[in-house]
Amino acid sequence: MIVVNPTVTSDPASDHLPLDTDLPFAVIMVAIFILAVAFYSLFVLRPQSLYGNVLKPELISDDIFNPVTLDETAPARAYRQWKAETNYVADIEPGFNVCAICLGPMLDEDIIRHLQCGHVFHSRCFGEWFFRRHDTCPTCISRIMPTT
């Protein structure tokens, strides 16, 4: 009986993938590289002059968005004091009333701002909203300052 052992020869050309799989892979890699460079240049290296200083606008001398106007419009006070002054009875359980900006509960020791429309917010949350040049209530969009 004759036993035949097949021999496997190693050819340098057989170590590579065929051309039909190399080309699409290369095209995909080049496209990913181009997208990465575009993302980096648009969002990481963006010039600040295009977007302005959105988060911290400069106060102008006659600007109505200043701390004095905020205190005149919605004075800051303790949540406990506000509840006592308004005979607020909706506090069924602690944390029942929440700030619509941060969604955090109103606790007795919190400093709040009560607007003319009746909505209540943490003083810090509403201050950030106000100083971003919003003159409306974050909840009902009613004007919080008289027109000048």
Band of residue 35 on the pLDDT scale cut at 50, 70, 90: very high
Which of these, 106, 124, 125, 93, lies nearest to 139 by C-alpha position?
125
**How large is the average pLDDT for residues 3-18?**
59
The yes-or-no verdict on residue 40 having pLDDT over 90 is no
CA angle at 62 for the pair 143 and 102, rounded to the nearest 5°: 40
% of the chain at pLDDT higher than 90: 5
pTM of the model: 0.51
Would you say residue 95 has pLDDT above 70?
no
What is the CA angle 90-92-98, rounded to 5? Answer: 65
Per-residue pLDDT reduced to its tens digit, 67-77: 667 777 788 88
CB 90 within 8 A of CB 97: yes
CA atoms within 13 A on the CB side of 108: 5
The whole-number pLDDT of residue 55 equals 45
In this predicted model, what pLDDT tens digit does every residue of 127-136 receive, in sequence order?
A: 888 888 778 8
DSSP label of 121? E
CATH of domain 53-148: 3.30.40.10
Ranges of each domain in the chain: 18-52, 53-148
Q: CA-CA distance, 135 to 63, in Å (whole number)?
A: 12
**60 band by pLDDT with thresholds 50, 70 and 90:** very low
Average pLDDT for 95-109: 83
- For 16, counting Cβ atoms within 10 Å of its Cβ (0-12 exposed, 13-18 middle, 19+ buried), the class is exposed
Q: Which two tokens stand for residue 102?
A: 């941060």
Is residue 101 within 8 Å of 125, Cβ to Cβ? yes
Confidence class for position 53, pLDDT limits 50, 70, 90: very low
